Amino acid sequence: MAHHRTPARRFGGHSSVLIHSALALALSAILPPAAHAQTPVAGQSAQAYAIPAGPLDAALTRFAKESGVLLSFTPDTTEGLRSPGLQGRHTVPDGLAALVAGTGLQAVQQASGSYLVVKKPASTTPAPAAPVAAVAALAPERSLAEIRVTARRSANGTTEGTGSYTNQVTSIASKTDQSFREIPQSVSVVTRQLMDDKRVVDVEQALTLTPGVIVADNSGRYFSRGFQITSMQIDGGAPMALGAYTYQPQQDMGSYDRVEVMRGASGLLGGVGDPGGIINLVRKKPLAQRQVEVSQSLGSWGNQRTEVDATGSLTQDGRIRGRTVLSYQKGDSYFDYISQEKPSLYGVLEADLTADTLLTVGGSYGKVRQKGDYAGLPRFADGRSLGLPRSTAFSNPWAYFHYQNEEVFAQLEHRFDNHWKFKLNATHARTEQQRRWSTLSGAVNPQTLAGPVWRGGVLDSSNTQDMVDLNLSGPFSLLGRSHELLIGADWQRVRSHWQNMSFADSGTVGGNVFDIQPWNPAFDQFNLNLSERYGPWGQEQLGAYGVVRLHPTNKLHVIAGARVARYEFTQTMSDIIDTAGNTSPWSAKSFKESAKLTPYGGVIYDLDPHWSAYVSYSSIFKPQALNLAGPQPGTPLNPIKGKSYEAGLKGELMDGRMNATFSVFNVERTGTAVLDERYAENYSLWGASCCYLPQGKVTSRGFDVEVGGEVSSGWQLAAGYTFNQTRDKTEGTVFSSITPKHLFKLSTVYTLPGELSKWRVGGSGRIQSTQYVSGSVTSSSGESQPYQFTQGGYATWDLMLQYRFDPTWTLSLNLNNVFDKSYYQTVSSVYNGNMQALPRNAMLTLNGKF
């Protein structure tokens, strides 16, 4: 018999409750009774559960996953009903009876061993086990579409309502639902439950919890394994460009179900980029049952946040469903002059065009309106810290930062009768930024305190990204065995503009960092020599990809894939010649990279039902068009190339409720731009720079250890440790000095047992080793003075306490940086950019779910 290895097969009852239920119902209708009797019945012995009170459908879904039982119910049966939850050890019949107690429903066991949740009959006589035909008379009318809709939600890795710190399937590595053991690379997830427990509201906070990831600053620069993460997917679509072209991720996380991160080279699906990895943000989708969730948070420095999340069916037959999430937050900051206001709106509609075709459309809109502008602090010229109060921010009352983010998206999914699936995912995203910026920057002379000067101006920018991804996936037979194939194509276009007009006296007014006096420039006078514009500016890539998953034996699995991509880069730079904004071209760059092949491969071997060993290979391809080879004006350097190897063990423990990974990695990258000392350096912040040689060789080596999920009944854990060493082989130095050699992250929560089950206690921690920055400062006499400074290793700890008043309301207290650790969360240069971390702070949240 051919072996078809899918997430549903691997997890048994844990992957998709209603897919299995539909199969059980179908079998009971077409097979004779003797065949029914061969189906094993799960959960005859008692098992420990810690299912909190809440919506009945969510409680039943979690029970089915944990017990392995096949359970079926329709959305209209459980709509608006709540379960008291389940604590302690129970058999399946007793557990189901407790979960539906007081709802007017009962769970009826079928001849196949599955259970069907239906309304109790008018008679109070207990209903005996009955065949499906008899029970159908008691149940409300069901449609195939309703069953398929709910099954999608439980089969696609959705973490909402699971109460878990991990999930069982992900699509980040292959665009098809795979278990963690089926991916031969390191994958982490920040689930909805973890984000709720930690009160995560933006992408930066979510990535701060992700093992192996460094959040370098608040402008969208994230690093893993020593390299910047330059690609981000939304719902597994075509990649967005990060860390360039003025784009800063500002999505409100109230609209997202989870954040997934795959570390390592991601060129197969992420296009061009460094081997840092790829981020996937997965949006919340409509639920079949009606649900409204509200929360109100109050915190330190007057911070407050209000959030409303409403979802449910919009038609009687449940074929059209909707969801909207509104949030509003505002408050002051610990930093001087800084305060923020952030409104956000998200809406999505799902429609079953047919029983096999699902259309999803939606959009989001968000703003950031910030008073003040924070660019970090300078240091002494020899690298020492200025020792200023943690609240110090060199800004002015007239400075501001305004950011607007808009997205519209559409997705189409069709399932064919042969188990193949077609997906189309399209997103249009646009951001706009306006700033009146102000900073005091410059290395401070330790004797005279001279050096820092006020700089400022008016800046505006925009970024538009269009992404389209379509793919076809499904099983096929070869040599008597079943395998899977994915083929697809994607397109990405990024268009940006960036313009800065510096004030006339920018860079001419000195400032004493220990006696700050306000700077009041003439807002209508500009220094045209310090003003510049880039636009149009961006990149475009078109790619085709394919992945085949072969299963030569029941235990051996081989993955092979490749991507062919074409890349184009365009940039125009202009000088601002008058205050009316009239410009003249100063330079224009256009660069095309012909179609390149990026291969990928991996092998997985199942050691036993719980553990697998794997190895994988990924190639690296990254154009570096902005780095030019001499002589001036220069020509673009050839792309950076390299290879990434990874090997490890992955385990699914606690009946699939916990994932564990141990991996070792080795990255080698060549062709990195190295300054060509034969020519005078011509550097532009956003423009093409000259002159360089493609000689750099970089390595990154280390290992990851990660566990996530349910350790024991009521105890959730997400923890990861990364050891990483990076080397610049050309210079014989560390390549990424802001990447700590040791990084440990921990998040955990525990629901107290028995009569104390209304209480949940949790916390999180981060321990990392030293980061450092080195460079040189040129003095007024022309002498070059080297510097190096470090942020020593540190540990920070957060706590959470939650009390549930009843099945609807909870009150949570989050206390962050409990021991008030003082450190720099971002280290930059001696000129500016060094950002101090927040001191101890608290947040109190009241949450209701109806």
Query: What are the domain boundaries of the chain?
Result: 47-119, 153-282, 283-849
pLDDT of residue 843: 97
Q: 793 to each of 648, 734, 744, 787, 823, how far by Cα in Å? A: 28, 17, 11, 19, 9
pLDDT tens for 328-339 read: 999 999 998 899
- Stretch 813-835: mean pLDDT: 93
pLDDT of residue 19: 34
pLDDT of residue 756: 92
At a CB cut-off of 8 Å and minimum separation 6, what does 412 contact?
357, 358, 359, 360, 422, 423, 424
- Stretch 604-616: mean pLDDT: 94
Rounded Cα gap, residues 173 and 236, in angstroms: 9
- Stretch 251-257: mean pLDDT: 93
Residue 154 has pLDDT above 60, yes or no: no
Q: 1 to each of 418, 482, 554, 608, how far by Cα in Å? A: 18, 9, 11, 20
- Stretch 606-635: mean pLDDT: 86
The residue assigned the tokens 């601002």 is 576
Rounded Cα gap, residues 235 and 256, in angstroms: 10
Residue 586 has pLDDT above 70, yes or no: no
Percent of the chain with pLDDT over 70: 85
The structure tokens listed for 537 are 């500016």
Rounded Cα gap, residues 617 and 612, in angstroms: 17
Residues linked to residue 427 through DSSP beta bridges, in sequence order: 409, 467
At a CB cut-off of 8 Å and minimum separation 6, what does 580 contact?
none
- SS3 state of residue 723: strand
Q: 232 to each of 46, 173, 552, how far by Cα in Å? A: 44, 12, 33
| pTM for the whole structure | 0.81
Residues 283-849, CATH architecture: Beta Barrel (2.40)
More confident residue, 576 or 473: 473
pLDDT of residue 112: 54
The band of 190, judged by pLDDT with boundaries at 50, 70 and 90, is very high
Rounded Cα gap, residues 436 and 401, in angstroms: 7
- Please count the CA atoms within 13 angstroms of the CA of 125 that sit on its side-chain side: 4
Strands 339-354 and 320-332: antiparallel
pLDDT tens for 104-149 read: 899 888 755 678 888 887 654 444 443 433 333 333 333 333 332 3
Residues 47-119, CATH architecture: 3-Layer(bab) Sandwich (3.55)
The band of 262, judged by pLDDT with boundaries at 50, 70 and 90, is very high
Same fold? 47-119, 283-849: no
Residue 565 has pLDDT above 70, yes or no: yes
- Under 8 Å between Cβ of 281 and 251: yes
User: Is-cis flag, bond preceding 52, omega within 30?
Assistant: no
Which residue type is seen at 402? H
pLDDT of residue 576: 57
Residue 515 has pLDDT above 70, yes or no: yes
User: Is-cis flag, bond preceding 585, omega within 30?
Assistant: no
Angle between helices 17-30 and 144-155 (to 10 degrees): 140
At a CB cut-off of 8 Å and minimum separation 6, what does 282 contact?
157, 158, 234, 235, 236, 256, 257, 258, 259, 260
Q: 591 to each of 539, 627, 670, 684, how far by Cα in Å? A: 9, 12, 20, 17
pLDDT tens for 543-559 read: 999 999 999 999 999 99
The structure tokens listed for 63 are 């029970």
More confident residue, 775 or 706: 706
Lowest model confidence (mean pLDDT) among 64-68, 138-142, 193-197, 418-422: 138-142
- Best CA proximity match to 706, nearest among 722, 694, 725: 722
The structure tokens listed for 552 are 């030569």
- Under 8 Å between Cβ of 496 and 502: no
- Stretch 783-798: mean pLDDT: 90
Kindly write down the DSSP assignment for every residue of 573-633, as one continuous string.
Answer: EEEE-STT--EEEEEEEEEEEEEEEEEEEEEEEESSSSEEEEEEEEEEEEEEEEEEESSTT
More confident residue, 244 or 535: 535
More confident residue, 309 or 576: 309
Strands 835-836 and 824-826: antiparallel
- Under 8 Å between Cβ of 535 and 496: yes
More confident residue, 537 or 226: 226
pLDDT of residue 179: 86
153-282 is classed CATH 2.40.50.100: no
pLDDT tens for 450-508 read: 999 999 999 999 999 999 999 999 999 999 899 999 999 999 999 988 888 899 999 99
Rounded Cα gap, residues 49 and 225, in angstroms: 38
Across the chain, mean pLDDT equals: 84
Residues linked to residue 463 through DSSP beta bridges, in sequence order: 431, 496
Q: Measured between alpha carbons, how far apart are the two ends of the chain, in Å?
A: 48
Angle between helices 144-155 and 56-67 (to 10 degrees): 70
- Stretch 600-606: mean pLDDT: 94
Strands 105-109 and 222-224: unpaired
- Stretch 15-37: mean pLDDT: 36
Residue 609 has pLDDT above 70, yes or no: yes
